[in-house]
Structure 1
């Protein structure tokens, strides 16, 4: 695909002035009503969604516009119109044309809204997509927040959901088909020339990690003192799973090794504590980690609330 000269791209180009822009093939699409309009509008009047589009393209094909609202439109078909679903012929841009329009809009560097062919269209340039995550700390009840930084994203939409719609999303001028962030979208052509998005998992990658050495003897001495029971919730894997759970327990560093940052003399009784996998996960939901005393208090408080609900 060779993009046209971006200097010639304006909203009054042929795609905006021509019902059948150059290079847009005519296709037959189905237009399905949501049902009949109220009886007072006549026995042959139908209700449709996609009011922005259908209130324009159907009257051009002989339909009568009876009423238009923000989210719906009432239309009466011409005489001798076959029953629904109704079929119309209309010019639709190819996937490559959609990408080209998005790329040329990106070069211009500004958002716009208008009409391309017979379709409403709009382009949003480099929107801020940072996300603020809010949650309540399950132990303290305090509201916490975290800002997730994302690169600015641009998007082009042509058409309207409920009739036909194309969505193109991009970062730094690199566009793909789909409404998801481009890092999550894999554009692939199907047999009919349309595009679908796929989410994939399982790819391998190389990462750098800082690994802190654990002392196996310190773990053994810790368990010899405390046993293999979680010191926060009391779970013992062997009691629950039999021999499958024998000696299965996490050993938690009261002060994280990452916070110490160097080798030190560990005290297996004061510096280590056995925790089940769930409690070990919960204590590390905060930095610094929750103490075992805080965990016990949270468990007791929740248990009391549950008992009150049962009573």
Structure 2
């Protein structure tokens, strides 16, 4: 009798141990939502919809895109930070995930502690450009020009806390030069003024700057990453003139804190396999993006370093949206 009872207990324990594994193996059992912190139509939205399609094909469930723009991505980030950590609500995070809390005291999330990293999907190719009338051919000559014209040069940014402003402020600090920030509500009006000469310098995405550069309306000097971009491999880097300079705006997937490693691994593998496809890489290039596809641990380390780097830039430049 005792043997029978022991066997029954052993079987019950085995069933209990297997239950969580069975539940994990069943993921996903319903549609997944990717929250995008931008309005429909832009490069990030296009990327998010492409990811949704590819992930859906891999996990055999629909993946829905939900746009939640506003407050420099703060609204979407806080929404996902507060979502149930079951793997059914993900965030297509941007670089601002890490910078907003340093700029906006109303941010109610921690970029490291409130989320679980899944994968850094891509980097957004950014370049430094000048008006064609600025008499420089490279970054080294631009630095000399800025030193000779202290207080006379302006740069265009996309507003307080934008990657374009932060990159310019990092450049100012590391190159020991001076430029005045002129904020705009979008790349189009900023580029219009760069072309006209109202502003002389601009950091912005290659996707928006590239067509004007190819038409000879602006002069692109370098990419902001520390290594050449696969999208424009012949373009020099700022770091060649300013050692240590590295700015890589990014897009990646994160989940609410508490999401299980098993779920994270399923999504990571689906994305990683998808971004290795040549058709996906080609589509990324047309959007001005370089494929990354890093694993969760590597992405987590990157976020921590990114938060520290830009936090220092923000503090040094006294950047805030609500002083």
* TM-score relative to the length of structure 2: 0.18
Q: Flag the structure with larger Rg.
A: 1
Give the number of the structure whose residues are more often helix, by fraction: 2
Give the number of the structure whose residues are more often strand, by fraction: 1
Instruction: Pick 1 or 2: higher relative contact order, CA cutoff 8 A, min separation 6.
Output: 2
